[in-house]
Structure 1
Amino acid sequence: MDDQVSSQTMRVGSLSPTSTISQPGLDLSGLPPIAIFTAHLKDEEERTLKKTLRQYDAPLTTDISRAKIFIGKVGTKRRAEFELRSRKLVVEEALALKRPASPVKAKGHSSKRRKVGVTSARSIPADERDSTTEDEVVEDSETEDEAPNAKHYTPLSSPSNFDGGVYNTPIFETSSNDDVVWVVKFDWVEACISAGHLLPLSENLVYKGKVLERPKSLNTKSIKAVFSAVAKKVPVSKTLLATRPPLVQDILDRAKSDARTISKKPTYEPARFGNHASRRFQGMAFAPSSQPVSPSHASQAAHLLQQTTSEYDGEDSDFPQPPDWVKKGVKYSCQRFTPGNGPNEDFLDQLKKIRTARTLIDDDIGVCAYSTIIASIAAYPYKLSLPREIAQLPGCDEKTAVLFVEWMNTGKIKAVEDYESDEAMKVLRSFYDIWGVGAKTARHFYYNNQWTELDDIIEYGWNDLDRVQQIGVKYYDEFLVTIPRAEVEQIASVVREHAVQLRDERVTVTIVGGYRRGKTESGDVDMIVSHPDLESTAGLVREMVESLEEAEWITHTLTMSLKNTNRGQHALPFRSANGAAAGFDTLDKALVVWQDPAWPTREQDMAENPKAKNPATHRRVDIIIAPWRSVGCAVLGWSGGTTFQRDLRRYAKAIKGWKFDSSGIRSRSTGKAIMIEGPNGVDGTPEDAEKAVFEGLGLEYVPPEHRVTY
């Protein structure tokens, strides 16, 4: 998404009144109320844009209950919808009809159960998903004084049909009494200034939406008056906020004011099956003040500002000197050490639940932001005691501190309680826990198919599930049982035994995933199999699976890939000859269901009943084959926590100009493979090769037990 944003080169500097000749013919005073999207705008860019709009008498406002036009650095409809949603606007896209709608089609859709074929990417391991998107933490700065009341505005026109100074084609006008908003690129403002008159929106219109619900206006007084009143009522010296910067004081004071005005409502509205609105989960109160919250499902504002005891009071309360990575603002988690079971696990558990909620409601940006916050706090070596400690951490800000204040004051977070108690979220989470079912498919099961439990899937949609999903449902309870370290090691030893029989003793098997990060129990078993001879890894995965199936260790093969063997085990270029992106992480792999074929009473049970079932728990096992010359990338690519892996790819892209994944490294400029481990691999172990990759990337080696970024 940042690539899209960066393609819109910010030219706000050219909008400055000091560098632009004022055009007397341009008058923006008749426009509807305008609000600015501050995301991706630097402070100076935002100030310049506001100053320029004021020069032409544009009706600027920060009251979202009145704003009609939103101007910012926004390039896609999805981003526009997110920005509107984050300001508590419930909208749906306003599409122009080419012909009158059919009264038959307008009657609504049936609420009958129906079978819908569903595909899912859940079966693809998380560390194989390419995620080079930069962090996008939305900041909503509403400190601007209110613009004059502009409810009764005159829709201005463009010169597309110019006649004697009268513009006949309306720009901001609707054919009905609907409440409509427009999201417009800032380029349009610059174009209008350059032309000296209003221009059609054309490609500068990102999104036009019909407003279903707006937040209530809380700005009945000026911002200055509101803050002054709060300051008199709550002396700074008697609150925890004595330790916060002035900006945070303002934000938290507003949050407290909001808490007294918002009525208590359920966070989520029960699913209205058959109603199109129910198809997108709208309960979104999972973040601090400016994160997405649907007003129709708003929870009571968090208990943020209770009076605190002396243990949290005082300007003189000191916290430990932050580590160097905090002082330097290191944002990539692959550049710092993050151990498991740190001093702030209780608070992190709350944040992880919020992130899960964001996952289930399809808020990718929120998931990315919370992942960054969680990884940063997890790396902090001291027990947090003050909100200003959090505000200093890379990726965290006053919004994160607000959650911490609530946690410290009440011992809980309202958004987490809402998530855990909401029935719809319970159903979505149960579906999401099915192997092979992602968040999108889980929502489809619930909102579209109206299923509320596993039995519904089996009864009404079994034949529409793909094979992986069917197996995920069949062994649902067993796959949720974690695997002790001893059992992980036993499974790996069996795999190596069969690989050695097929090749020789030089076969290496490296257990990766959560086991390598030190987890006492794992959800599944991931292992990298390699051999110093290139020809020995070709086709090995198929032979191994056949051997293990014959020995009854593998009961089901979910996925079998021989792409690496089929291309001669050569690293793919970053882009193909015609410039199209190629598939990068194409290592040979088999994702299988594993079961120990021996159990203590097997002989007796089989004697009594030849068809006796094996009672051993089914396990999920991933066997990945890596050529020796890139085994270090494979081990590294499968050993870190999710955020560590994401940041590793982001770091390689931003700092080195490379594309990194578990199959190798390529140059983004030339498209050629970069053989950090040498053309024939490292002379040593896969762990030695991994260290060589760290060195080649210019990174300090981080032991796997310090890559626990969650």
Structure 2
Amino acid sequence: MGTFTSTRKLDLSSSPPIFVLPTHLQPEEQHETEDKIYQAGGHITYDAKEARLFIGRVAQKKRAAFDLRAKGVWTDEAALPEHDPSGSHADGVEAEGPARKKVRLSTSTRGRRATSSTASASSEGSRRENQPSDVVWPDLSNHVLVVKLAWLEASIKEGYLVPYKPYIVYTARIVPKPDGQSTPTTSPTQPAHLKAGSSSSSQRRTSKPDVASILERAKAEAATLPAPRRRWDDHGRHANTSPTQHKRPQLHRQTTSEMEYLSTHPLPPLPEWATGPNATYSSCRSTFLHPPNEAFISQLTKIKEARLLRLDDIGVRAYSTSIASISAYPHHIAHPEEITRLPGCDQKIATLWREWQDSADTDAERTIPIVNDLDAEPDIQGLRLFWNIWGVGPDTARKFYFEHGWRELDDVVEFGWKSLTRVQQIGVKYYEEFLQKIPREEVELIRDVVLRHARRVLNIPESKYGTHEDVDCVIVGGYRRGKAFSGDVDVVLSHRDENKTKDLVGDVVGSLEEEGWVTHTLTLHTTTSDRGQATLPYRAKPHGGHGFDSLDKALCVWQDPNFEDDVEEGDGGGEEEAEKPRKKNPNIHRRVDIIISSWRTVGCAILGWSGGTTFQRDIRRYVAKVHGLKFDSSGVRNRGNGHVLDLEAPRPKNDPEVVKMLLQGERVERGDERWKGVEWDDKDTWEDRERRLMDGLGIGYRPATERCTG
């Protein structure tokens, strides 16, 4: 924390009980912050359950809610109660001065406060006279307020309470702790509150903070914290909704036999990617579909999915990083120390591996106990049931299960059908069919049909098939990464003539519907065509869609219209045969996404739709941090000036200065005198454009079969 100076003395006596969140604060910073609040007359509490105002170095709502939950405070996001100017107030709230409300403190605190009220009245009154701003606290009896540390810093600097609303991170109402949860206990050595005006506080407020007391307080607080590896607790114990997740794995201790093993079986060398400057970015290394440690990774994936269903974004990211790192490791793991050496992996993952390794004799039989508990947990089973509905995410699945109390798909149909979106209704209707995976041969047949209709609506003559005047249709997604079966089919359509890709998605889908291949068009976006097929602006409003995608696309329900009817020629004869209805189409329904990209950025579109989720995330992280760029499936922009960069176009070969020029936004044209006599990389297929893009971004090209991060 910085040093604050002010000509006025800040008065926090009107504030609700305050708790300082330790996230992103060093212990010294946390204790310094607490002392400043204490010296200003604030109601510091070390029991988060009693606090109503939380101050910390957090900026995201989800992180704030997570930190409160980690301290045993369970909340639902909600607006703060409106202030009642009449002076009436709810139970548990005291009014101080005109139009002022304050949360009532605990019994012990009220007692201390009463004994010192007379002594402190005059000093408080004088401070209020010097306070230009009269901050009115809302009724926080059943609500909490999380503000940025900057609010306290600004208030101390100014010498009075500055308005807190610009610094709000999270507002919520307090809810009961869910069944099966355990929360941390507070230290019995800590008082519930330290309130200015008590006999002890009056002594401290007239002198410098007692260093010894600060150290004692730090020791007492440390006694309540988990073992040093707190990250596991933050991702596991506090974020769970199941008592099965509260079992902390025993830390592995190296035995003499293991030490002897290591002396005769040294650990394999770390791959180059694990020690380089880009070790934390999965987009800068090769990750294959079937890695040596696939069985163990499948267990970690189940834990990650449970974190996802519990809305634990931090845990999801942590497990995603660990899974991507282990997936890229080229050796079969034989010792837990191999894991702790990998970026993004810690002792928690190594301990899980030891539990998995010791559970059985073969990889096929091995499991992690915590995964067995998850598989048997009714809540997780119910959430997964709803999560598998097309169009239902983790948030909605939790509403179905916890808020509405639904347990089966029939409950959704009976009690909530009218509240579902069209996508969700179709997801319920074809639930079992959508769960069936699509073999590669069928994916290719669907691609061929889409390509045929694209050629039809663009009037591509057969003589031009396979030439630069033809339309390209590329299968992306899991198919391109080499999966034997896919959950859905994603195809990207593009043409070198930009006029032909504008509004193409509607024409193609209409043609497919007319012939019976598409039975339902659930969403049809023309966002790229609407903005003239330009790259998405740097500061664009969030757009709902697939990942970081903003292209023209259609989400369709697909069914092969061709099937053998049981009506045979001559059966019944004449008009009776003609009137006999055809039987219902028995072919399975599939999910198909048709994406349209202009040729200028086709490499971005195909790259953006081809990698695993973590691979895509790390591309964005890498180019933002290393080059200051924004990448999405519609193109690349400079974050500083918003300029579009063309990293896909043909350019001179083997010239490192070219990439520098491109990243700076300069144009590289064949007619430039600088490139006389230089060989050009002027091939212009979508594969070439994707390769040049990856090289230009600095992540290096690798085929899609090496982007399987999960």
Corresponding residue for residue 73 of structure 1: 57
Higher mean alpha-carbon deviation, 622-631 vs 20-29, is at 20-29
In 1, the alpha carbon distance for the partners of 2:622 and 2:22 equals 25
In 1, the alpha carbon distance for the partners of 2:329 and 2:122 equals 58
Q: Does 1:379 align with 2:328?
A: yes
- CA distance 1:322–1:500, change in 2 (3 Å): same
In 2, the alpha carbon distance for the partners of 1:606 and 1:647 equals 64
Corresponding residue for residue 454 of structure 1: 409
- CA distance 1:375–1:360, change in 2 (3 Å): same
Corresponding residue for residue 327 of structure 1: 275
In 2, the alpha carbon distance for the partners of 1:554 and 1:587 equals 20
What does residue range 628-643 of structure 1 map to in structure 2 within 5 Å?
Answer: 628-643=599-614
Q: CA deviation at 1:487?
A: 1.4
In 1, the alpha carbon distance for the partners of 2:11 and 2:261 equals 50
In 1, the alpha carbon distance for the partners of 2:496 and 2:504 equals 13
SS in 2 for 1:677: coil
In 1, the alpha carbon distance for the partners of 2:418 and 2:542 equals 35
Corresponding residue for residue 200 of structure 2: none
Q: CA deviation at 1:340?
A: 1.4
Corresponding residue for residue 470 of structure 1: 425
Corresponding residue for residue 553 of structure 1: 517
In 2, the alpha carbon distance for the partners of 1:249 and 1:314 equals 28
Q: CA deviation at 1:688?
A: 1.0
Q: Deviations over 1:369-395 (max 9, x none)?
A: 322222222222223344443333333
Q: CA deviation at 1:619?
A: 1.4
Q: Deviations over 1:55-101 (max 9, x none)?
A: 9978999887888875421135443221111334334679446469x
Q: CA deviation at 1:342?
A: 1.1
Corresponding residue for residue 539 of structure 1: 503
Higher mean alpha-carbon deviation, 496-505 vs 611-620, is at 496-505
In 2, the alpha carbon distance for the partners of 1:549 and 1:391 equals 53
- CA distance 1:431–1:538, change in 2 (3 Å): same
Q: CA deviation at 1:164?
A: 4.1
Contact 1:516 1:704 in 2 (8 A): yes
- CA distance 1:531–1:414, change in 2 (3 Å): same
Contact 1:524 1:621 in 2 (8 A): yes
In 1, the alpha carbon distance for the partners of 2:56 and 2:647 equals 42
Q: CA deviation at 1:591?
A: 2.0
- CA distance 1:251–1:624, change in 2 (3 Å): closer
- In structure 2, what residue type is equivalent to 1:163? G
Q: Deviations over 1:328-352 (max 9, x none)?
A: 3622211111111212222222222
- In structure 2, what residue type is equivalent to 1:186? L
Structure 1 gap ranges (5+): 1-11, 101-105, 107-148, 230-246, 256-284
Q: Does 1:342 align with 2:291?
A: yes
Higher mean alpha-carbon deviation, 342-351 vs 693-702, is at 342-351
- CA distance 1:406–1:286, change in 2 (3 Å): farther
Corresponding residue for residue 690 of structure 1: 690
Corresponding residue for residue 127 of structure 1: none
- In structure 1, what residue type is equivalent to 2:274? V
What does residue range 158-557 of structure 1 map to in structure 2 within 5 Å?
Answer: 162-164=124-126, 183-191=146-154, 194=157, 206=169, 210=174, 212=176, 215-217=183-185, 251=229, 287-289=235-237, 291-293=238-240, 299-305=245-251, 312=258, 316=262, 318-328=266-276, 330-410=279-359, 412-501=367-456, 502-503=459-460, 504-505=464-465, 506-557=470-521
Corresponding residue for residue 66 of structure 2: 82
Contact 1:32 1:150 in 2 (8 A): no
- CA distance 1:652–1:83, change in 2 (3 Å): same
Higher mean alpha-carbon deviation, 412-421 vs 184-193, is at 184-193
Contact 2:239 2:312 in 1 (8 A): no
Q: Deviations over 1:245-268 (max 9, x none)?
A: xx998559x99xxxxxxxxxxxxx
User: Higher relative contact order at CA 8 Å, sep ≥6: structure 1 or structure 2?
Assistant: 1
In 1, the alpha carbon distance for the partners of 2:570 and 2:151 equals 78
Which of 631, 635, 641 matches 1:670?
Answer: 641
Q: CA deviation at 1:701?
A: 0.5
Contact 1:572 1:582 in 2 (8 A): no
Structure 2 gap ranges (5+): 86-90, 92-107, 190-215, 360-365, 573-579, 651-668, 670-680
Contact 2:526 2:552 in 1 (8 A): yes
Contact 1:335 1:700 in 2 (8 A): yes
- CA distance 1:51–1:636, change in 2 (3 Å): same
- In structure 1, what residue type is equivalent to 2:418? N
In 2, the alpha carbon distance for the partners of 1:675 and 1:398 equals 43
In 2, the alpha carbon distance for the partners of 1:154 and 1:200 equals 26
- In structure 2, what residue type is equivalent to 1:497? R
Contact 2:82 2:138 in 1 (8 A): no
In 2, the alpha carbon distance for the partners of 1:179 and 1:315 equals 58
- CA distance 1:414–1:219, change in 2 (3 Å): farther
Cα RMSD after superposing both structures = 4.8
- CA distance 1:22–1:161, change in 2 (3 Å): closer
Contact 2:81 2:138 in 1 (8 A): no
TM-score (norm: length of structure 2): 0.69
In 2, the alpha carbon distance for the partners of 1:375 and 1:574 equals 28
Contact 2:647 2:692 in 1 (8 A): yes
Rg comparison, structure with higher value: 2
Identity of aligned residues (%): 43
Corresponding residue for residue 654 of structure 1: 625
Q: Does 1:596 align with 2:560?
A: yes
SS in 2 for 1:626: strand
- In structure 1, what residue type is equivalent to 2:73? L
Contact 2:240 2:307 in 1 (8 A): no
Contact 1:553 1:596 in 2 (8 A): yes
In 2, the alpha carbon distance for the partners of 1:412 and 1:288 equals 18
SS in 2 for 1:163: helix
In 2, the alpha carbon distance for the partners of 1:207 and 1:550 equals 50
In 1, the alpha carbon distance for the partners of 2:111 and 2:417 equals 56
Contact 1:306 1:409 in 2 (8 A): no
Q: CA deviation at 1:641?
A: 0.6
- CA distance 1:297–1:27, change in 2 (3 Å): farther
Corresponding residue for residue 569 of structure 1: 533
